[in-house]
């Protein structure tokens, strides 16, 4: 394993970091059950990764059905509460400090086991996942019932393949 190709070619470095404050308001609320914080989107990292804080405050349960991604890995780091993580065969209860990595093609899912619960979700390389999250929030807020064909369209546009 070697270092990747250089991304910065300057000689002295530059002031470029950004601080995100932990008490910042969420960027998105999904149905009053989940608050999402856009810590670093694929757009802000030049496509290197996307990092989101996922705060689950609703009743236990919820979360996506088992699925996989073709273009990106997904990682989970539990900050608080209990989170159920699915590896394609079985569910495991993850506690604060637990980390779960899913490579491209890996079947996975998650759910809230203990309310409230919070985790970091990392996608690499960075993809516009906030578009997917915002579309889900709009569907929940509107109360629309999507057909299987409509759900498949949503998933297909966002590299989400249900199993």
Report how far residue 133's alpha carbon sits from residue 126's, in angstroms, rounded to the nearest whole number.
Answer: 14
Report how far residue 74's alpha carbon sits from residue 60's, in angstroms, rounded to the nearest whole number.
Answer: 22
Measured CA to CA in angstroms, residue 116 lies from 3, 23, 143, 153 at distances of 39, 16, 24, 31
Give pLDDT, residue 28: 97
What is the domain partition of the chain in residue ranges? Answer: 28-162
pTM of the full predicted structure? 0.94
Tell the CATH topology of 28-162. Jelly Rolls (2.60.120)
> pLDDT tens digits, the chain, 163 residues: what are they?
999 999 999 999 999 999 999 999 999 999 999 999 999 999 999 999 999 999 999 888 889 999 999 999 999 999 999 999 999 999 999 999 999 999 999 999 999 998 899 999 999 999 999 999 999 999 999 999 999 999 999 999 999 999 9
Burial class (CB in 10 A: 0-12, 13-18, 19+), 92: exposed
């Amino acid at each position: 394993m070697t270092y990747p190709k250089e991304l910065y070619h300057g000689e002295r470095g530059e002031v470029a970091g950004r601080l995100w404050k932990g008490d910042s308001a969420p960027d998105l609320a999904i149905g009053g059950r989940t608050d999402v914080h856009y810590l670093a989107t694929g757009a802000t990292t030049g496509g290197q990764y996307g990092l989101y804080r996922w705060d689950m405050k609703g009743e236990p349960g919820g979360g996506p059905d088992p699925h996989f991604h073709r273009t990106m890995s997904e990682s989970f780091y539990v900050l608080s509460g209990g989170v159920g993580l699915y590896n394609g065969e079985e569910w495991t209860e993850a506690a604060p400090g637990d980390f779960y990595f899913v490579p491209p093609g890996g079947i996975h899912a998650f759910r809230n086991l203990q309310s409230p619960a919070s985790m970091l979700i990392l996608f690499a390389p960075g993809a516009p996942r906030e578009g997917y999250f915002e579309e889900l929030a709009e569907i929940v807020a509107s109360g629309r019932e999507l057909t299987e064909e409509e759900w498949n369209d949503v998933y297909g546009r966002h590299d989400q393949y249900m199993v």
